[in-house]
Amino acid sequence: MLKKSLLQISKFVAPEIIFGQGALSQVGESAARLGIKKAFLVSDQGILGVGWVDRALDFLKDVGIGAVVWSDVSTNPKDSEVARGTEYYLANQCDGIVAVGGGSPIDVAKAIAILVTNGGQIKDYEGVNKITCPLPPMVIVATTAGAGSEVSQFSMIVERERQAKMSIISKSLVPDIAIVDPVILQTKGPRLTAATGVDALSHAIEAYVSLAATPLTDVHALAAIHLISENLRESVACKANLEAKSAMAMASLQAGLAFSNAILGATHAMTHQIDGLLDLHHGETNGILLPYVMEFNMISNGEKFAKIARSMGVQTEGLGKWKAAEKGICAVRKLFQDIGIPEKLAQVGMKEEDIPKLSANALKDTCMVTNPRDCCAEQIEALYRRAL
């Protein structure tokens, strides 16, 4: 007989997914199938510099699709960037979006898609299910193994006035088609490879222990945890290791499917605030905070945290669930040390006086709703201080 929790109704949303070496070649045909005639291609300067945007433009041209390129995107994209992109989209009379990039260009592409059909300012859509009008068709090409934005219902944008990252969540933001080509990952340096891999692991772990987790999200989350623990070190060590890159691309994809449907937790709620204030790389900030949040959340579900350890390859035979869970957290710390992730927030510029404001904002973050352990402002402040 199925447990009661398995009988509850849940939804799982995902785009059409095209995965594999050389999958970028499908971007033109994918856009054509969606009826796009003039694409608004969103990317960033780094991707432009290594030639992937030119490749995408060639594939669009091959099927008769025109395109304009927008690349005014920062590491933690701002509401002002979204506003400028929206004006450019409308001025060029585009009818669909193609994004080629990591989480930042993809988040901006989604935010622009909201405004070109729904109007207003992007802050109007902060929260859950604020979008009312259909969005233009979207084809997303992921260029990092970490964000998972190509399959998610999230867009993360910094509101400059508040210096806080807004979580915009809606099934409308799930792209029509997601393209994942591991070959693209071979142009990423070790620091970016490490940070994005950590981001994927934090997605998988937080989705797995989320209050909104389901059996289907659990399958993807555990698979991602295993792939990352087995392949992230090798992927960081060598750009040419296509086997490790392919495994990390799949891990990021599965972690994205998991967190898009199960949402996240306190790590991301806290990280969003730091990124909005200090403009740091999201993956590195997650890497600093994740072990501390895991220690805090562990008592909420010892068995799940023990399964995380087993998925990471930790030998837990003969151990109780609490000891196994502790070993899993140690394994996370060791992985992060091996790939050069900073261990303390002070190393990336955070100060003691920032903590009260960051804690108050973190409690308001949508991701806190699905954290598996209840927490108050004082506990969030204590976590920040432990990580400082």
Mean pLDDT, the chain, rounded, equals: 93
- Closest to 313 (Cα-Cα) out of 327, 292, 294, 301: 327
306-334: average pLDDT: 95
Q: What percent of the chain has pLDDT over 90?
A: 84
In this predicted structure, the answer to whether residue 3 has a pLDDT above a threshold of 60 is: no
Q: What is the β-pairing status of strands 154-159 and 96-101? A: unpaired
Burial class for 102, CB neighbours closer than 10 Å (0-12, 13-18, 19+): buried
pLDDT at 7 over 50: no
User: What is the rounded average pLDDT of the residues 256-283?
Assistant: 89
Instruction: Please give the pLDDT value at position 338.
Output: 97
Please state the separation of Cα 71 from the chain's center in Å: 19
User: In the predicted model, what is the mean pLDDT of residues 143-166?
Assistant: 90
Token digits of residue 81? 């960037």
pLDDT tens track for 233-261: 999 999 999 999 999 999 999 999 999 99
pLDDT in tens, 43-96: 999 899 999 999 999 999 999 999 999 999 988 899 999 999 999 999 999 999
Three-class DSSP category at 140: strand
CA 251 to chain centre: 12
pLDDT at 279 over 90: no
Q: What pLDDT, in 10s, does the model give residues 201-223? A: 999 999 999 999 999 999 999 99
For residue 31, give Cα distances in angstroms to 57, 59, 82, 254.
11, 10, 22, 23
Q: Which domains does the chain have, with CATH numbers?
A: 16-184 (3.40.50.1970), 188-387 (1.20.1090.10)
1 versus 90: the higher-pLDDT residue is 90
Residue 281 pLDDT class (50, 70, 90 cuts): confident
Q: Evaluate if residue 4 carries a pLDDT over 50.
A: no
Average pLDDT over residues 225-230: 98
pLDDT, residue 41, reads 98
**Does residue 275 have a pLDDT over 90?**
no
DSSP state of 339: T
pLDDT of 117 over the 80 cut: yes
Residues 6+ apart with CB under 8 A from 98: 27, 31, 36, 39, 40, 41, 42, 56, 60, 67, 109, 138, 139, 140, 141
Q: Which two tokens stand for residue 72?
A: 């005014």
Residue 150 has pLDDT above 90, yes or no: yes
Which among 84, 14, 70, 44 is positioned nearest to 262, based on CA atoms?
14
pLDDT score, position 76: 85
pLDDT of residue 282: 82
pLDDT value at residue 278: 78
pLDDT exceeds 80 at position 131: yes
Q: Which is it for the CA torsion 111, 113, 118, 120, positive or negative?
A: positive
What confidence tens digit (pLDDT) does each residue in 329-364 have?
Answer: 999 999 999 999 999 999 988 899 999 999 999 998
Instruction: Give the chain's count of helices (H) and strands (E).
Output: 15, 9
Per the DSSP assignment, residues forming a β-bridge with 40 are 68, 97
Long-range contacts of 287-290 (CB under 8 A, 24+ apart): 287/195, 287/198, 287/202, 287/336, 287/341, 287/342, 288/341, 288/342, 288/343, 288/344, 288/345, 288/347, 288/348, 288/387, 289/345, 289/383, 289/387, 290/198, 290/201, 290/202, 290/205, 290/332
What pLDDT was estimated at residue 225?
98
Please determine, for residue 6, whether its predicted confidence score (pLDDT) is greater than 70.
no
Tens of pLDDT, residue by residue over 132-147, are 999 999 999 999 998 8
What is the number of other CB atoms lying within 10 angstroms of the CB of residue 225? 30
Q: How many CA atoms lie less than 13 Å away from 338 in the CB half-sphere? A: 17
Alpha helices per DSSP H over 99-214: 103-118, 190-209
**Is residue 190 pLDDT above 60, yes or no?**
yes
CB 263 within 8 A of CB 210: yes
Tokens found for residue 282: 């999201």
User: Taking the C-alpha atoms of 127, 129, 134 and 135 in order, what is their torsion angle to the nearest 10 degrees?
Assistant: 30
Q: Check residue 171 and give its pLDDT.
A: 94
Confidence bin at 188 (pLDDT 50/70/90): very high
Cβ atoms within 10 A of the Cβ of 378, count? Answer: 9
Res. 126 pLDDT band, cuts 50 70 90 = very high
321: helix, coil or strand?
Answer: helix
User: pLDDT-derived band of residue 274, with 50, 70 and 90 as boundaries?
Assistant: confident
Of 276, 216, 248, the C-alpha closest to 102 is 248
